[in-house]
Each structure stands twice: as structure tokens, then as C-alpha cells.
């Protein structure tokens, strides 16, 4: 190999290594604050209150204790709040599947782009904008203090996510398959059920995961509309704060218990999320 070619290869290798190092550093800078927060929460949850209030701060528990997790279950009705979150998130996601998938298909096939934009606006509108009229409506109906207001308001989160994600997936499907089904005698509903729906499975999985994450983590609706026995987990953690004292250990333990299900779900099915979003971003020929 002559000198210019070798120099060019070394230069290419150097640029490639530099590019990977720069990418790794950028990822580290973006991710490190979240990792640091999670580690600090874990540290607080495994220490007693003396170590939590120590100065300079003690990061590594010595020895670690599970007393904060025990206190959370003993001093608060955490299991009831867990069931409330499961009912609200599961019910809102199920309704979003039943409504959002057919709606996304219809909007995609009708090329109703203005409707899609309206749905996107409904999704990005701050939740506080809905609270006052919805609270007044639920109060007139006598539903305040029950799970129904929280469940209904969570549909504002899950249905727009499902509809908007499914629009992209159905638009990316090759139209030839459905046209062939219609020529063979299928109705539009049968073409949707037997052709489009199975092909859109990655999109349904992605929309379902995103709906679960956003619904599970929602705080505003549960804090304002929930009663003493109908709060969801994020609102229940907030209500652990008192005016007399902030117990950092139990508070961190409760926050970890709220975060753990969504974090584990995301870690286990991250490939489905990436694959589904990638598939939805590629237009079919």
C-alpha cells in the first residue's frame, strides 16, 4: 500500500473514532443527569434520616436499610393507590386501542390532515387547560371523589397518542394489499381487520407503550380530581409531603416505587419501541 493511500485510511479511521467518541460523550452528557437523579433517589431510599440530613452529604448507605420502603407500605395506603393507577391506566389504554386504531385508519385513508393536526393540538395542549371545565362538569354530575373523573381525563392523554401514531403507520402501509383484498370481495371493514390491522401491530405496540407511560406518570389529573381513596400513585407521593417535616427517605422510596414499573417496562421492550417508531417513519412503496 502506497503512502497516500495509507495516510487516507488512517485519516478515515481517526475521523471514525473521533465521531464515535463525540457521539458517546454527547449521549453521556444527555443521560448523566437522569442517571444521577435515579442514583441519588436510590441512595436516599436506602439511608436513615440521620444520614439523609448529614452534611457533607453521605452518598453510599452504610449500612443500607429497607426501613423506608417498609414505612411507605405501613404508613400510607400505597396498595390502594397502586390498584387505582392500574385501573385508570389500563382502562384508558384499552379504550384508546378500541377508539384510536379505527380512527387512525379512517383519518389515514381519508387523508384528513387537518383532523390529524387538530388531534396533535389536543395532545400538546397543557393539561391545566382542561381542568377547570372538566372539574365543574364532574362536580355537577356528582362524580368528584371517584375514579371516573380521572379515568375520563386520562382519555385526553391516551386517545390522541394512539390516533396520531396509528395515522403514521397506516399511511406507511402499501395500498396495494388493501386494494387486492377489496377486489377479492372483502368489505372495507374486512380489509382493515384482516390486512391493515395485522400489519400495524408494531404501531399498536408503540402507541400502547407511550399511552401507558404518559398515563401512569400523569400527576395533575390525579392530584386535582382524586379523592382520599381514589388518588393515583404520583398524586399519592405528593401527598406524602407534610408541613412539619419532609421525610426524604420514605419520599424517595415511594418515588422509586412509582417509577419502577414504567422503567422496567421501557427497558424490556425498548427494541419494540425503536423498531415500531422506525417502521412508522418509512413510507411504503
The residue among 284 and 249 whose pLDDT is bigger is: 249
The residue among 182 and 215 whose pLDDT is bigger is: 215
Give the model's confidence band at 282: pLDDT under 50 very low, under 70 low, under 90 confident, else very high: very low
Question: Residue 187 carries which DSSP code?
Answer: -
Q: Is the pLDDT of residue 275 over 80?
A: no
Contacts 24+ apart (CB under 8 A), 43-46: 44/68, 44/248, 44/249, 44/251, 44/252, 45/69, 45/249, 45/252, 45/253, 45/256
pLDDT at 252: 83
Can you name the CATH fold of 68-280? MetI-like fold (1.10.3720)
Give 46-92 pLDDT, tens digit per residue: 887 777 777 777 777 777 888 888 877 777 777 888 888 899 999 99
Give 85-108 pLDDT, tens digit per residue: 899 999 999 999 999 898 888 888
pLDDT at 243: 45
For residue 162, which of 115, 80, 112, 102 has the smallest C-alpha distance? Answer: 102
Is residue 226 reached through a cis peptide bond, with omega within 30 degrees of 0 on the bond before it? no
- 394512539: which residue's cell? 162
pLDDT at 126: 77
State the Cα angle at 264 between 44 and 43, rounded to 5°: 10
Name the residue ranges covered by the structural domains of the chain: 3-45, 68-280
pLDDT at 72: 79
- 389515514: which residue's cell? 108
Enter the C-alpha cell of residue 20: 464515535
The residue among 96 and 192 whose pLDDT is bigger is: 96
Q: Is the pLDDT of residue 251 over 60?
A: yes
pLDDT at 167: 86
Task: Determine the Cα–Cα distance for residues 192 and 102; give it in Å rounded to an integer.
Answer: 8
Instruction: Judge whether 44 and 26 are in contact, CB under 8 Å.
Output: no
> Phi/psi class of residue 178: alpha, beta or left (left: φ > 0; alpha: ψ in -120 to 50)?
alpha
Q: Is the pLDDT of residue 142 over 90?
A: no
pLDDT at 285: 39
Give the model's confidence band at 258: pLDDT under 50 very low, under 70 low, under 90 confident, else very high: confident
Task: Determine the Cα–Cα distance for residues 237 and 252; give it in Å rounded to an integer.
Answer: 9
Q: How far is CA 31 from the centre of its chain?
A: 17
End-to-end CA distance of the chain: 44
- 423506608: which residue's cell? 68
pLDDT at 229: 80
pLDDT at 283: 45
Amino acid at each position: 500500500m502506497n503512502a497516500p493511500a495509507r495516510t487516507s485510511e488512517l485519516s478515515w479511521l481517526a475521523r471514525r473514532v473521533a465521531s464515535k467518541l463525540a457521539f458517546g460523550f454527547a449521549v453521556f452528557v444527555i443521560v448523566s443527569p437522569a442517571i444521577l437523579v435515579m442514583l441519588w433517589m436510590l441512595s436516599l431510599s436506602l439511608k436513615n434520616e440521620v444520614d439523609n440530613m448529614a452534611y457533607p452529604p453521605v452518598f453510599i448507605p452504610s449500612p443500607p436499610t429497607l426501613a423506608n420502603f417498609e414505612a411507605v407500605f405501613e404508613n400510607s395506603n400505597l396498595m390502594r393507590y397502586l390498584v387505582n393507577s392500574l385501573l385508570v391506566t389500563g382502562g384508558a389504554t384499552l379504550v384508546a386501542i378500541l377508539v384510536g386504531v379505527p380512527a387512525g385508519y379512517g383519518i389515514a385513508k381519508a387523508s384528513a390532515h387537518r383532523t390529524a393536526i387538530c388531534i396533535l393540538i389536543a395532545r400538546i395542549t397543557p393539561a391545566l387547560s382542561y381542568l377547570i371545565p372538566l372539574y365543574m362538569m364532574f362536580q355537577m354530575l356528582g362524580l368528584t371523589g371517584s375514579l371516573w373523573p380521572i379515568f375520563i381525563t386520562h382519555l385526553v392523554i391516551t386517545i390522541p397518542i394512539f390516533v396520531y401514531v396509528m395515522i403514521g403507520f397506516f399511511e406507511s402501509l402499501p395500498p396495494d394489499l388493501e386494494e387486492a383484498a377489496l377486489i377479492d370481495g372483502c368489505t372495507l371493514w374486512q380489509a382493515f381487520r384482516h390486512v391493515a390491522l395485522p400489519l400495524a401491530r408494531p404501531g399498536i405496540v408503540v402507541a400502547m407503550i407511550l399511552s401507558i407511560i404518559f398515563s401512569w406518570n400523569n400527576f395533575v389529573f390525579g392530584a386535582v380530581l382524586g379523592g382520599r381513596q381514589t388518588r393515583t400513585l404520583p398524586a399519592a407521593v405528593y401527598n406524602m409531603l407534610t408541613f412539619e417535616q419532609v421525610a426524604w427517605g420514605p419520599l424517595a422510596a415511594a418515588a422509586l416505587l412509582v417509577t419502577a414499573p414504567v422503567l422496567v417496562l421501557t427497558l424490556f421492550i425498548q427494541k419494540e419501541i425503536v423498531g415500531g417508531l422506525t417502521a412508522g417513519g418509512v413510507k411504503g412503496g
